[in-house]
Amino acid sequence: MTKILYIGKNPEITQTVLRLLNARDDWFGIAAESDIEAIALFSKHDIDIVLLGCGLAQESEEYLSGFFKSVKPEVAIVLHYGGGSGLLTNEILSAIG
C-alpha cells in the first residue's frame, strides 16, 4: 500500500484530495494543514509520497521538503496545486514509478 501525505491550507480542497486518495484500495491518504502536523504524521507513518498542496508558503515547502528528505531520502515529493482527479492520479503514479 502506498502511503501519501497531503499538506494544504484549504480545508475543502484537503477533504477532496483525501477522498480521491482513499478511493483507491492501494493508496492510504492522510492530510495536514500545518508544518507541525505534517512532521508529526510523517514521523508516525511510513510515508512514500508527500503532496505539497495549495496555500503553502515557499518557505514551508522548502523546509518540509528538506526535513522529509533528510529523514527518508527516497520519499517522493510532489507539488500538487490542483487540476482535477486525473492530474492527481498521474502525479502519484509518476512518483511511484
Q: Could you give the number of structural domains in the chain?
A: 1
SS3 for the chain, per residue?
A: CEEEEEECCCHHHHHHHHHHHHCCCCEEEEEECCHHHHHHHHHHCCCCEEEECCCCCHHHHHHHHHHHHHHCCCCEEEECCCCCHHHHHHHHHHHHC
Domain that holds residue 9: 2-96
Q: What is the domain-level CATH number for residue 90?
A: 3.40.50.2300
pTM: 0.92
On the question of pLDDT at 84 being above 80, the answer is no
Under the banding of pLDDT at 50, 70 and 90, the label for residue 85 is confident
pLDDT tens-digit profile of 71-83?
999 999 998 766 6
Of all residues in the chain, the percent with pLDDT exceeding 90 is: 78
**β-strands 2-7, 49-52 pairing:** parallel
